[in-house]
Amino acid sequence: MIKSKLSVLMGIKKVNIQDVHEGTGINRNTISRLYHDKLKRVDFDTLNRLCKYFDCQVEDVLEYSKD
């Protein structure tokens, strides 16, 4: 199972959904779904923008667990 860690990352950086939207150009609904771990798929462009915005790696945004 793959889970989003965006809410944790946003908490650490002290930014909200609007900040991420304005800083990345990613649709607010996409960010909200990732934040609440409700998104079914993420494209590479979205991951690239998030990693660039947060200056992080993909594993800081997404987490894989076997259960």
- Per-residue pLDDT reduced to its tens digit, 2-36: 999 999 999 999 999 999 999 999 999 999 999 99
Other Cβ atoms less than 10 A from the Cβ of 54: the count is 19
> Radius of gyration over alpha carbons of the chain, in Å?
11
Tell me: domain 2-56, CATH 3.10.150.10, correct? no
Contact 3, 62 (CB under 8 A): yes
pTM above 0.85, yes or no: yes
Q: 4 forms bridges with which residues in the sheet?
A: 62
Average pLDDT over residues 39-49: 96
Q: Which two tokens stand for residue 12?
A: 């650490």
